[in-house]
Amino acid sequence: MSSKEKPTLGGTRIKTRKRNIAAPLDPAAFADAVVQIYLDNAGDLELIAKSIESTDLNFSRYGDTFFEVIFTGGRTQPGTTKPDEGERHPYSIIDCTPQRDAILPSVIYIQKILRRKPFLIKNLENVMQKFLQSLEMFEENERKKLAIFTALSFSQKLSGLPPETVFQPLLKDNLVAKGIVLSFVTDFFREYLVDNSVDDLIAILKRGKMEDLLVFFPTAKRSPEGFSEHFTKEGLIPLVEYNEKKNFEVKVKEMKSALTTQIQEETDVAEVIENVKQRVKDAKLPDIEVVRIVWDVLMNAVQWSGKNQQQNANAALRQVKTWAELLNTFCTNAKLELELIYKVQVQCYEDAKLMKLFPEIVRSLYDQDVLAEDTILHWFRKGTNPKGRQTFVKALEPFVNWLEEAEEED
């Protein structure tokens, strides 16, 4: 080989890089194919499910389109709820009557599909989010069908559908302001509570980060009174009772917190009394609950000394003496005084370090004019709370004998 000739590699073939050529998206053709399955089987969901199972359609690519066909009878225009061009069928959720019996078969049908094709759950989420964010685009009757479907989905525990997917999209300001969301959740609550308890409903709402039910109300109606009025009118009394109980617990907690702070800071008793009165008025707390709250807060604020009975007794009696005026203000009749004795009884029974303090506390309350003689004698003779009663009656007997002797002398 000449020194001027360039070396070459004989027999080498030059390869060109292959490009991945993706098949073009064709959701319209997919939608038409699914619609045809519905039409061929005359809307029989059992037969449709079998046909879906045997078909080679690309569900992983067109999952959203598949659920659009289930809900609306055909494909919707991208990003909207409006029907797109193409075939449609009359057996959709939107086309049926707004009743459980008509919608439940679709829920069961979707459940079957998801068991065979669990990857479609995400597509179901996508489509429900799109529809719920666009509720105003549906007719009132159609929104009711969506609400019933949603309630039945949770009631039937539709494969892995997360509550936050359903409820979070509802909180668009314009939907809430127009009352559309309130109407939707009312239909949802009514349907869900047919088979489930209020506790079950609240558990779902909490998972969906919707503990405060007032967020579904337009601003002008967003109050406990508005809540009660609306759901009473709709016949959902268990929901009203739940909300009233919840509001009551919140008010009790707030009052305990405020009173605890004042007790710890040794606020003037007159100021504490006024504060409690105002909170009782604002929260409309029953008198018997106020007595329970005041006693609990006073005893929780005591600095107990382990098992030293004498120190514990001194601390409890000092607390009673210091705040006797507060107790006196709210123990205004024999019924409330009796409730206070029951509170003392239960606390001494449940807390071992206070077991022997019952007679001393009762006597101290008597000495401070919080408990009347007749109330103590009534508890001694006819008290109904069984917790530690025999022990406490025996322990209080010397004091009761003293009361009866003093009464006879008078």
Residue 33 lies in a domain: yes
Copy the structure tokens of residue 204.
Answer: 């779902």
Among 322, 342, 321, 331, smallest CA distance to 371 is for: 331
Give the mean model confidence (pLDDT) for residues 135-160: 90
For the cut 90, the answer to whether the pLDDT of residue 20 exceeds it is no
Q: What is the pLDDT of residue 170?
A: 87
Same domain, 255 and 198: no
Residue 383 lies in a domain: yes
Instruction: Report d(CA 213, CA 387) in Å as an integer.
Output: 39
Per the prediction, the chain carries an average pLDDT of: 88
What value, to the nearest 5°, has the Cα angle with vertex 267 and ends 261 and 269?
A: 115
Q: What is the pLDDT of residue 365?
A: 94
188, 144 in Cβ contact below 8 A? no
Same domain, 179 and 252: no
Q: Say which range, 90-104, 196-210, 296-310, has the weakest mean pLDDT.
A: 296-310
Copy the structure tokens of residue 27.
Answer: 């959701």
Q: Exposed e or buried b for every residue in 101-140, given b needs 16+ CB within 10 A?
A: eebeebbebbebbbeebeebbebbbebbebbbbbbeebee
Same domain, 253 and 179: no
Instruction: Report d(CA 101, CA 113) in Å as an integer.
Output: 20
In the numeric block, the tokens 């088979």 are attached to: 195
State the greatest distance between any 2 C-alpha atoms of the chain, in Å, as a whole number: 146
Final residue in a domain of this structure, among 212, 234, 264: 212
Residue 14 lies in a domain: no
The amino acid that residue 154 corresponds to is: F
Residue 238 lies in a domain: no
User: In CATH, what number is assigned to the domain containing residue 362?
Assistant: 1.25.40.180
Number of domains the chain contains: 2
pLDDT greater at residue 311 or residue 16:
311
Same domain, 349 and 208: no
Instruction: Report d(CA 106, CA 153) in Å as an integer.
Output: 10
Structure confidence by residue, pLDDT tens digits, 211-244: 788 999 999 999 989 999 999 999 999 999 999 9
Same domain, 168 and 311: no
CA distances from 272 to 207, 269, 321, 336 (A): 39, 5, 15, 19
Copy the structure tokens of residue 259.
Answer: 């009173």
pLDDT greater at residue 43 or residue 4:
43
Q: Which residues, 6+ apart, have CB-to-CB distance to 85 below 8 Å? A: 28
276, 290 in Cβ contact below 8 A? yes
Q: Which domain holds residue 403?
A: 243-408
pTM for the predicted model, two decimal places: 0.75
Among 286, 203, 206, 213, smallest CA distance to 252 is for: 286
Q: What is the pLDDT of residue 366?
A: 94
Same domain, 203 and 252: no
Same domain, 184 and 35: yes
Residue 223 lies in a domain: no
Residue 16 lies in a domain: no
Final residue in a domain of this structure, among 155, 190, 212: 212
Same domain, 338 and 189: no
Beta bridge partners of 76: 83
Residue 227 lies in a domain: no
Residue 10 lies in a domain: no
Q: What is the pLDDT of residue 13?
A: 52
Count other Cβ atoms within 10 Å, centred on residue 168: 16
Final residue in a domain of this structure, among 161, 196, 212: 212
Same domain, 153 and 253: no
Same domain, 270 and 192: no
Same domain, 138 and 283: no
For the cut 80, the answer to whether the pLDDT of residue 112 exceeds it is yes
Same domain, 204 and 79: yes
In the numeric block, the tokens 């807390």 are attached to: 351
Q: Exposed e or buried b for every residue in 249-277, given b needs 16+ CB within 10 A?
A: eebbeebeebbeebbeeeeebeebbebbe
Q: What is the pLDDT of residue 25?
A: 61
pLDDT tier, 397 (very low <50, low <70, confident <90, very high otherwise): very high
Give the mean model confidence (pLDDT) for residues 10-31: 60
Structure confidence by residue, pLDDT tens digits, 154-175: 988 876 778 887 788 888 899 9
